[in-house]
Amino acid sequence: MIALCAYSINMRRMVNIRSFSGKMQQSRSENSGGCGLLENAPGGGSFGGARRWNGGHSQQNDIRECAAPATLPTAKIAHGSITRSIRPRFQRLLAGWLVAWVLASLGERSSRAEGLDSSTNSPPTEAVDHALQKSVVQIFSTVRLPSPYKPWTKEAPTEISGSGVVISGKRILTCAHVVEYASRIQTQDNEGGGRINVRVEYLAPDMDLAILKLEDETFFDNHPEIQISQVMPGIRDSVLTYGYPVGGTSLSLTKGIVSRIEYAAYNYPATGLRIQIDAAINPGDSGGPAVVDGKMIGLAFEYLNGTQNIGFIIPAEEIALFLKDIADGHYDGKPSLFGENQTLANSTLHSFLGLDPATEGVIVEKPENDDPAYPLKKWDVITHIGGEPLDNMGNVGLNDNVRVFYKYKVQKETTNGLVPLTIMRDGKERKINVPVTSSRPLVMPSLSGTYPSYFVYGPIVKSLSCGGRTSNPPPRKF
């Protein structure tokens, strides 16, 4: 290629351009029976817009420019015994094209070399994908749900299936609703081996997460743990979901993008981040990993009924908080800041509260606790959580492109059961520490994965529970 480039440059040095006042020198073939033509398309002076010459045959292999304007000069290029008449502009373009082609070829070779060098530091894509597939397992559960009308008994057994993924510590991570109220749980890998009995070690119905342990831990000798991402994915990032949906028995993969990241309610009273993806999530995929760049960014757990391609995953950040919580052998739940807020987007509210127009935050409309000792009061304006400022909609920055409700920061800023807030009260700034809890008592408490208690009074049987896991059910589970 370098020799070809040098040849094109030497050709340019041999060009002898001669101007003519009235006539243009033309090279004609000895046999004038035909005209060989290389003609530029209308509006084009480039090589790409030229039409191939057609017509007759020239004994001296000449190219006749029949349509060239009479005022343009010609360039004669002598190479061996071949003499051609070519426009100087076309000849310059040809030389430039050859140089660009050579440089592009060298760049492509350099890129390939860099790719080979980088591949020595990371495993091939096929190896990563194979390891991922071996870490995803299928979960089979025999479930007996509580009976709200006959609390002394249980519903008839039901067989359901879901997905799970191997994580560190020789454990399997899945969704709570896959194994909740299960009397028997088994797992099976993608290679179709025998089913292995497992048991629930930790259950978090509020965040829909569960940890399973196997009776035979030799299973993990051939099933590596998945790598969990420490970085929140970006909007439009490509994502792969792995799982065992209905309609087949082998591992299924679907591809999509990250569509939305938001702060949302899980099972009462838990709230947290939730990632929306457009990859297909179907019944049976629940508990399967969602993967970006070979690392798990979350766990598939629900889809929005009556819609298409709106599925949700539990982010890796929420999973990490769950794993940190159970490290002491007990699940305590997510800390939350309860109470009601009002936006500060109305300028009249600024005047009413005596605030500077540049002040941003949210108004405390109803504190969680009416106790006089409770730090937050009605009409307080929360301007910061930790060191993070709030806008007038109550949102804080998650990354460069995403903003979420400020209560998301509670789980990150809480220390010893207290979350630091900066508020405006009576026109003055104050810094306070507000206690947070993981539960909020209700008149009719939720079952949270347990069976209801009851008492018998003569012919009357009264259940002491609401008979449900949630007061406001989330989108359809599978």
Q: Could you read off the pLDDT of 393-429 as tens digits, one per residue?
A: 999 998 878 999 999 999 889 999 999 999 999 889 9
397 with 348, same domain: the answer is yes
Q: Confidence class of residue 439 from pLDDT cuts 50, 70 and 90?
A: confident
Higher per-residue confidence, 144 vs 469? 144
* CATH code of the domain covering residue 162: 2.40.10.120
242 has a pLDDT exceeding 60: yes
Please state, in angstroms and rounded to a whole number, the distance separating the CA atoms of residues 394 and 341. 9
165 found inside a domain: yes
291 with 377, same domain: the answer is no
- Of 381-390, 443-452, 453-462, least confident by mean pLDDT is 453-462
DSSP-derived pairing of the beta strands 136-143 and 158-167: antiparallel
Please state, in angstroms and rounded to a whole number, the distance separating the CA atoms of residues 312 and 294. 19
354 has a pLDDT exceeding 50: yes
pLDDT at site 103: 65
Single pTM value for the model? 0.69
Q: Confidence class of residue 162 from pLDDT cuts 50, 70 and 90?
A: very high
Higher per-residue confidence, 75 vs 308? 308
161 found inside a domain: yes
353 with 391, same domain: the answer is yes
Q: Confidence class of residue 446 from pLDDT cuts 50, 70 and 90?
A: confident
Q: Confidence class of residue 131 from pLDDT cuts 50, 70 and 90?
A: confident
Rounded mean pLDDT, 372-376: 93
Rounded mean pLDDT, 305-318: 91
Please state, in angstroms and rounded to a whole number, the distance separating the CA atoms of residues 383 and 105. 57
16 has a pLDDT exceeding 50: no
Please state, in angstroms and rounded to a whole number, the distance separating the CA atoms of residues 442 and 470. 11
pLDDT at site 76: 38
384 with 243, same domain: the answer is no
Position 174: which residue type?
T
213 with 290, same domain: the answer is yes
153 with 264, same domain: the answer is yes
282 found inside a domain: yes
- Residues 448, 205: contact at Cβ < 8 Å? yes
pLDDT at site 264: 93
pLDDT at site 80: 41
Rounded mean pLDDT, 442-454: 83
**Measuring CA to CA, which residue among 222, 243, 244 is closest to residue 296?**
243
pLDDT at site 342: 92
Higher per-residue confidence, 76 vs 359? 359
Rounded mean pLDDT, 189-198: 84
pLDDT at site 85: 46
Percent of the chain with pLDDT over 70: 71
Q: Confidence class of residue 106 from pLDDT cuts 50, 70 and 90?
A: low
- Residue the block writes with tokens 């194979």: 130
67 has a pLDDT exceeding 90: no
150 with 280, same domain: the answer is yes
| Last residue of one domain, picked from the residues 333, 366, 383 | 333
| Last residue of one domain, picked from the residues 315, 333, 351 | 333
251 with 266, same domain: the answer is yes
- Of 25-29, 90-94, 181-185, 311-315, least confident by mean pLDDT is 25-29
pLDDT at site 347: 85
14 with 82, same domain: the answer is yes
386 found inside a domain: yes
463 found inside a domain: no
306 with 198, same domain: the answer is yes
Please state, in angstroms and rounded to a whole number, the distance separating the CA atoms of residues 87 and 74. 5
CA angle 65/71/73 to nearest 5° reads 65
pLDDT at site 327: 94
Non-local (6+) Cβ contacts of 437 within 8 A are 335, 336, 338, 417
460 found inside a domain: no
pLDDT at site 455: 81
Rounded mean pLDDT, 312-331: 94
Q: Cα dist. 9→48, 112, 240, 333 in Å?
A: 21, 28, 51, 75
Q: Look up the domain containing 11 and give its range.
A: 2-95
Q: 10 Å Cβ neighbour count for 316?
A: 24
Mean pLDDT, the chain, as a whole number? 77
| Last residue of one domain, picked from the residues 333, 366, 384 | 333
- Residue the block writes with tokens 């998650």: 398
Based on the structure, what is the number of domains in the chain? 3
Q: Active-site residue numbers? A: 177, 208, 286
* CATH code of the domain covering residue 406: 2.30.42.10
Give CA 279 to chain center in angstroms. 10
329 with 349, same domain: the answer is no
Please state, in angstroms and rounded to a whole number, the distance separating the CA atoms of residues 216 and 474. 35
Q: Confidence class of residue 90 from pLDDT cuts 50, 70 and 90?
A: low
pLDDT at site 32: 40
Please state, in angstroms and rounded to a whole number, the distance separating the CA atoms of residues 282 and 162. 10
Q: 381 - beta bridge partners?
A: 363, 424
Position 183: which residue type?
S
149 with 172, same domain: the answer is yes
pLDDT at site 262: 93
pLDDT at site 464: 65
Per DSSP, the chain holds a count of helices (H) and strands (E) of 7, 27
210 has a pLDDT exceeding 70: yes
